[in-house]
Amino acid sequence: MVIQVEDIVDALAEGLRDFRRAPQYGLFFGAIYALGGLFIILTASALQMSYLSYPLAAGFALVGPFIACGLYEVSRRIEGNQPLSWSAVLGVIWAQRGKEIAWMAFVVLFVMIMWMYQVRLLLALFLGFQSFASFGEFVETVISTPEGLMFLAIGHVVGALLSVVLFSLTVISFPLLMDQDRDFITAMITSVRAVVASPVPMIGWALVVTVTLIISMVPAFVGLLITLPVLGHTTWHIYRSCVLPEAPADTVQSVDPSPSSSSSAPAASA
């Protein structure tokens, strides 16, 4: 359904309450995300490719919706007054391994590969195939040369476009697949329709997520221990605001973005 900025604010408050009610789960999934980011950066450094640290960190943020699947289940159980336990939460995640959410994980991985491919392509186009002894040398080259500044500008534009595409495909689809028995194509269509129906609040939420994750990554990814769970719980509540409960006809419905519409339209055929 169509949502307003106030709905995003309310969802953020509810996400913060969920984290406070069950902080152990949020800290656990936040730690996994933070450690994964550190592993990627340290690996790049060990392979003497530290100049890729920034694009790798930015690209790693794209897998956030997949890591947050456990947080969606926690919020779902809190919302339904169901008991919380590690076996229940982890069991639901494990049960998804052979279901449609695995295809969504593939979509996220594909976009991340495209992200890194465009970084390497732009590096070759603007900076040649020169190597950098350190990340500091890479930064100095990027910010002090015309070619480096052009690489930085175009890279961010292309990255922003990829991020908007992935956000539109996943902001609703991951929690939808956790909550209902849907195919991943229908989930992605529903997610895109939710963004199209409420572009201002949804893109605003995307900006909040992006800025929050960037700030959280600065102190060695430590900030993700708190911000990832809050963002994950909030995403669940945004999903609940955008998507109507499952209808008897076995269809997911969302409100037509047209103001003149008086009835909801099917998000997609199953």
pLDDT class of 234 with cuts at 50, 70, 90: very high
Q: Which helix (H) or strand (E) holds 190?
A: helix 184-197
List, for residues 125-165, the tens digit of each pLDDT value.
888 767 666 667 777 888 888 888 898 889 888 888 888 99
Q: Check residue 17 and give its pLDDT.
A: 96
The more confident residue out of 139 and 205 is: 205
Instruction: Let me know: does 226 contact 31? Beta carbons within 8 Å.
Output: no
- Distances from the Cα of 91 to the Cα of 35, 55, 202, 222, angstroms: 22, 33, 31, 27
When the pLDDT of each residue in the chain is averaged and rounded to a whole number, the result is 81
235/153 Cα distance (integer angstroms): 30
Q: Check residue 178 and give its pLDDT.
A: 85
> What is the reported pTM?
0.77
List, for residues 177-196, the tens digit of each pLDDT value.
888 888 999 999 999 999 99
SS3 content of the chain, % helix, strand, coil (to 5): 75, 0, 20
151/157 Cα distance (integer angstroms): 10
